Amino acid sequence: MWDACLFFIKGQQCRLLKNLVQSTCLPITMSNTKCQVPRSTDETEAKTDISLAIMPIIKLCGESKSARCDELKSLITKGCSKAKIENPRGSISIDKDKPVTNRMKDVAEKLKPDQITQIQPQKLTLNLRSGEAQTFKLKFKRAEDYPIDLYYLMDLSFSMKDDLENVKNLGTDLMREMQEITSDFRIGFGSFVEKTVMPYISTTPARLLNPCTSNENCTSPFSYKNVLKLTENGQQFNSLVSKQQISGNLDSPEGGFDAIMQVAVCGDAIGWRNVTRLLVFSTDAGFHFAGDGKLGGIVLPNDGKCHLENNMYTMSHYYDYPSIAHLVQKLSDNNIQTIFAVTEEFQPVYKELKNLIPKSAVGTLSSNSSNVIKLIIDSYNSLSSEVILENNKVPEGVSIKYKSICKNGMVGTEENGRKCSNISIGDEVSFDITIESQKCPSQGKSETIRIKPLGFNEDVEIVLNFICECECSKGGEPLSKICHNGNGTFECGACRCNEGRIGRLCECSTDEVRTDDLDGNCRKDNGTDICSNNGDCVCGTCECKKRENPEERYSGKFCECDNFNCDRSNNKLCGGHGRCECRVCICDANYTGSACDCSLDTSTCLAANKQICNGRGTCECGVCKCTNPKFQGPTCEICPTCPGVCAEHKECVQCRAFETGEKKDTCQRDCSYFNLIRVKDRDKLPQPADQSYPLSHCKERDANDCWFYYTYAVRNDTMREVYVVETLECPAGPDIIPIVAGVVAGIVLIGLALLLIWKLLMIIHDRREFAKFEKEKMNAKWDTGENPIYKSAVTTVVNPKYEGK
């Protein structure tokens, strides 16, 4: 008999076949409350009929039709045959692959600009499947003798008067210098001042005719003038520039942004070719930008269109200045590389502007523009030595990654993957470009994007085709009998129900189905939660919700299982050593535990002696658990409170080997736990490298200050061995005579030293006292005057007759 699962509706049993795949339930057919079994009366025939009808609709309990889209391994696990699995892959086809041009400057035959190729390939078609990236290689090679168009845009406000004199011969001089770089060079000239409204210029009639003060003869102010279209004639450049006159304005910032916009968008008037385009912007002042026009009552944003009439910009009073972002877009769209030639004072401002405009350079202009040619050559070399790739807007859900392989094998990724620097003429670099789609576009199946090197006229066209459906969907069977007698289209092995029908086989009608009856079949154990709150009850069957992460899924007849709510270890599901099935970790080999975080491998517990945890513990989950609490460490090798192996066994070794020590009387009772082996000298003691068990070398001293040497080892966790050197190393006795002689000599020497010191101190003291006496003697002063009240006690009588005889 067939295995069957039971499906209850209104108390009636609807018989379901159980497929050969474990836990897979297959409904035959169902009409509201009754089961409809194939009419064949023979059991074998009925089984065949049912199999033919429902084998393409195998599903795991609780899974919706969307679960049929899964990883290849998962589909095979569910019972799908490889032959029945449709697995479209993405692909790349190169539609145009013209090789890069190897052009030499000195070759007589010159190629037209459109005949030169610097980027390869030129067109590709990518078939993208969501989540599957496609990578192709793009090559770029700087062609030698590549044509150059250079347009010189100059500020003609009054402060640039001396600069104009030096620019008048720029045409022929620059032509001569550029011959070293290219044989196909054209040059043009334009000038700008400011918007012709207050407060940028003075609008009094006199100032409109001559805006300069003093006796200078200046031309009327203007916004932008295209003086000379791009030409190969350097003399014509010199001639027309020589006729230009300085003008003037009131404020310091100039209207250069208006001029740059017109130069970028008026391609026909300027004469741009599809070659290297250089715009040299020369000024000694700052710039106005979007919003500044409000000062003159101009509020309309710049429209980014060409408004030249008779080579003059005529809408400066109508449109505001362009924004920096607007300029960046137009310069990029028209492949124009900008060189800002500005004076030292405004270098910081234009360097900040350079950071916002890709493929631009800033050079320091001397006060009179005498270094302009060198500035242009240096800036061009700097710009042309770097290639930067950019792409237009990509469709939603599509991402592009760049990886550059530059000169000398230098590799760049992320933002550096877009560019290569220090490229010389003839150098070839390549880029690995990866395009990936995360979802299908909402409208249309094809999109086109373009990738190009900034400042170059060439690009790569990439057509993106999105693989959003399987091929089998094209061969669907409308009104198929498999889908409950024509209530849906049978495609790719599943029913796509017509409007108003639901169920896996479209067996239920949204108008006739009583939700309360069917919901009862979606409750586990007569509970209150429908499909465990993880799914929807569709026609009496749970269809589990899809998670945002495609790797995570609900499953089970009542959506009670999932593969992402298992225990974690180290922030990894099942510790990274198992898989989650119905919220329980199924661990890989050699792992156990609720989170598969317990390793059964004991190699991490092996000590240096090849013993598990040094014989002092057990290995649990790859970690040693020491049985003796006084031991610790990765392999129970550390004992911070232990006195040490040597000190612990010293008394027993001493009493057994030499019959001395504190335990000599109880030696037989307390010290018979090891096997004693005597050796003649220390060289005979076992060495650690020779043993496969713990071994300690000891050196101890007895009460007589004699040293004895021994080793202590534990073999096989129980057998203890002590190797001891049988002779003690005792220190030799002292020699009395030298000691006595030394002591006497020491005493005598110390006495002599003390006498000498005493004598020296006395001499020093006497000398100090004598010096003090001499000093007091020298300082003494004797008073010879007599006291007026003093009367001598002696009376002197002079004999007049004596007279001194």
CA distances from 798 to 619, 682, 802, 803, 804 (A): 138, 121, 8, 9, 9
Sheet holding 308-309, edge to edge: 308-309, 312-313, 224-231, 185-192, 148-155, 276-283, 336-342, 360-364
State the pairing for strand pair 276-283/148-155: parallel
Residue 737 has pLDDT above 80, yes or no: yes
Confidence of residue 68 (pLDDT cuts 50, 70, 90): low
91-103+114-144+388-467: CATH topology: Immunoglobulin-like (2.60.40)
DSSP 752-792: HHHHHHHHHHHHHHHHHHHHHHHHHHHT-----PPPTT---
**Predicted local confidence at residue 30, as pLDDT:** 31
Cis peptide before 322 (omega within 30 of 0): no
pLDDT digits (tens, 9 = 90+) for 180-208: 888 888 999 999 988 888 888 877 787 77
Kindly state the average pLDDT of the residues 114-122.
Answer: 86
Greater pLDDT, 77 or 490: 490
Alpha-carbon distance 717 to 171, whole Å?
A: 99
Q: Taking 50 as the threshold, does the pLDDT of residue 568 lie above it?
A: yes
Superfamily covering domain 601-642: Laminin (2.10.25.10)
Q: Please indicate whether the domains covering 91-103+114-144+388-467 and 565-599 agree at the CATH topology level.
A: no
Structurally, what CATH architecture does the domain formed by 645-725 represent? Irregular (4.10)
235: left (phi over 0), alpha (psi -120 to 50) or beta: alpha
Residue 505 pLDDT: 81
Enumerate the domain spans of the chain. 91-103+114-144+388-467, 148-385, 565-599, 601-642, 645-725
**Contact (CB, 8 A) for 548 and 554:** no
- pLDDT for res 281: 92
The CA–CA distances, whole Å, from 100 to 126, 156, 259, 434, 593 equal 22, 42, 35, 22, 62
Check pLDDT > 90 for residue 755. yes
* pLDDT reading at 13 higher than 80: no
- What phi and psi, each to the nearest 5 degrees, are found at residue 701? -120, 135
Q: How confident is the model at residue 11 (pLDDT cuts 50, 70, 90)?
A: very low
**Which pLDDT value is given to residue 402?**
93
Over residues 731-742, mean pLDDT: 83
Q: Which residue has the higher pLDDT, 57 or 406?
A: 406
pTM for this entry: 0.53
- Is the pLDDT at 21 greater than 60, yes or no? no
* CATH number of this structure's domain 148-385: 3.40.50.410
Number of Cβ within 10 Å of residue 253's Cβ equals 18
Count of alpha carbons within 13 angstroms of residue 454, beta-carbon side? 23
Residue 59 has pLDDT above 50, yes or no: no
Per the prediction, the chain carries an average pLDDT of 80
pLDDT at 685: 86
Q: What pLDDT does residue 164 have?
A: 78
Sheet strands (E) in 212-275: 224-231
Predicted local confidence at residue 516, as pLDDT: 65
Among 268-277, 309-318, 602-611, the least confident range: 602-611
Would you list the DSSP string of 466-502? EE-S-GGGGG-BTT-TTTTTTSEEEETTEEEEPTTEE
Burial level of 131, CB count in 10 A (0-12/13-18/19+)? exposed
In the three-class reduction of DSSP (H, G, I as helix; E, B as strand; rest coil), residue 345 is classed as helix
* pLDDT tens per residue, range 411-462: 988 888 988 988 888 888 999 999 998 888 776 678 899 998 888 888 899 9
**DSSP line for 6-56:** EEEETTEEEEEEEPSSTTBEEE--EETTEE---S--SHHHHHHHHHHHHGG
At residue 352, the pLDDT reads 92
Mean pLDDT of 351-376: 84
R_g of the chain, CA atoms, integer Å = 52
CATH code reported for the domain at 565-599: 2.10.25.10
* 690 has a pLDDT exceeding 80: no
pLDDT of 175 over the 50 cut:
yes
Q: Dihedral through CA 555, CA 559, CA 564, CA 569, nearest 10?
A: -110
- Tell me how far apart the alpha carbons of residues 652 and 228 are, in angstroms, rounded to a whole number: 113
The closest alpha carbon to 230, from 278, 182, 163, belongs to: 278
Position 325 scores a pLDDT of 92
